Amino acid sequence: MNEDDIKNNPISYEKLTDIGVELVSELGSITMSVKDFMKLKKGSVINLEKPAGESIELYINKKIIGKGEVIVFEDNLAVRINEILDSDTLIQYFKKEQLW
């Protein structure tokens, strides 16, 4: 499916409602050497070099789709969504990825 096909075909949400996607929330990341990684043990702290309280990114299929914040919800860590792409943009992304 090319760009023109996507633009000229009406959006059908029916085909998308049962598609499973992997939602990943990324708290932060850091690059470290294998040597430093091998020194980690239970109780080690990894500094993600991201200020506390800053938004975390939300990804579907390795594409950023929004931002949120980490919260505690019913004794579990959770993500409160603060920003998210609109539905039409997400649908166009799924069509480009040919997920169905």
User: In angstroms, rounded to a whole number, what is the distance separating the alpha carbons of residues 58 and 69?
Assistant: 10
Q: Where are the domains of the chain?
A: 3-27+53-97
pLDDT tens for residues 44-97? 999 988 888 889 999 988 888 999 998 889 999 899 999 998 877 777 777 776
Per-residue model confidence (pLDDT) at position 100: 45
Contact 70, 27 (CB under 8 A): yes
Nearest to 61 by CA among 32, 95, 94, 34: 94
Confidence class for position 4, pLDDT limits 50, 70, 90: low
Contact 57, 83 (CB under 8 A): no
Topology adopted by domain 3-27+53-97:
Surface presentation of antigens (SPOA) (2.30.330)
pLDDT tens for residues 18-54? 777 888 998 888 999 999 999 999 999 999 888 888 8
What percent of the chain has pLDDT above 70? 76
pTM strictly above 0.75: no
